[in-house]
Amino acid sequence: MSSATAAVSQGYVRFAGCCYLLIIALGLFAETQVRGSLIVAGDASATAAQIGAASTLWRSGIVADLCMQLLDIPIIVLFYLLFKRVNAALNLTATGFNLIQTAVLVANKLTLMLPLLLAGSGAYLAAFSTEQRDALAYLAIQLHGYGFAIGLLFFALACVIRGYLIIQSQFFPKILGLMLGLAGVCYLVNTLALLLAPELADTLFPWIMLPVLVGELSLSLWMIVKGANFAEQAA
């Protein structure tokens, strides 16, 4: 029995794969079904009205995002245990980047609570006009987009490193390592474009996210169906 097999069971690999798949599904739900349906681009008043009329849906998007970050933990632990014998320094670096990403995204959810607070009925809100409250709510939503991109900057680096570790370890097919590495590059380009050239980011999105979806979805499904190739390591 290899050290990797001793530390990680095939069942845990499949469990982490299920977590990964759920993260993808929850992310798509929060972005497309919640924020995609309630945010009216460039219109703060319409966006505030939409959120106020569907506050439960908006809250469900926040909960879905937080569940994504909770599900990150089993995956981070799996990859740390799986790749620590491949390259300890790179593995620890990827783990650190992934933990920073998760922490940033959790804290970033506070920006999505602000539109709900501004839509409330507290006496302190009388200090703001309706237009000011709508503008602040929309500003918070815009800030969330930048916070999300900043968090993904760290995840991009984790993906590139783990793609390399997959190729070196042979736990999974090398093509999955290449696809994960490409996903990391796409995350990185998207974030840098948003921070440095927002007009370019608008042109690139959502096409640059297609390799991300294909790469991460392929890896998660392989983990669920096939697990990890411990036999190669044992040999």
pLDDT (0 to 100) of residue 1: 42
More confident residue, 233 or 201: 201
Which residue segment(s) compose the domain that 28 sits in?
3-234
Residue 138 dihedral angles phi and psi, to the nearest 5°: -65, -40
Number of folded domains that form the chain? 1
Per-chain mean pLDDT for the chain: 92
Which pair of tokens denotes residue 92? Answer: 């620890």
Lowest mean pLDDT among 3-17, 70-84, 112-126, 164-178: 3-17
Residue 90 CA to residue 80 CA, distance in Å, equals 10
d(CA 57, CA 36): 12
Residues 55-81, mean pLDDT to the nearest whole number: 96
User: Residue 6 has what pLDDT?
Assistant: 53
Among candidate residues 232, 235, 215, the one with its CA nearest the CA of residue 223: 215
The most distant pair of C-alpha atoms in the chain lies apart, rounded to whole Å, by 71
Alpha carbon 206 to its chain's center:
15
Whether residue 227 is predicted with pLDDT greater than 60 in this model: the reply is yes
The burial class, CB within 10 Å (0-12 / 13-18 / 19+), for 176 is buried
Distance CA 219, CA 184 (A): 13
Average pLDDT over residues 123-127: 86
Nearest to 184 by CA among 198, 164, 199, 201: 164
Alpha helices in the chain (DSSP H): 3-7, 10-28, 36-38, 44-53, 55-83, 88-108, 110-118, 130-169, 174-196, 198-204, 210-225, 230-234
Q: Are residues 118 and 137 in contact, defined by beta-carbon separation less than 8 angstroms?
A: yes
pLDDT at 7 over 70: no
pLDDT, residue 162, reads: 97
Q: Distance between CA atoms of 184 and 72, rounded to whole angstroms?
A: 16
**pLDDT recorded at residue 218:** 97
CB 111 within 8 A of CB 140: yes
pLDDT at 235: 46
Q: Looking at residue 47, what is its pLDDT?
A: 96
Q: What is the mean pLDDT of residues 231-235?
A: 57
Cα separation of 125 and 70, whole Å?
33
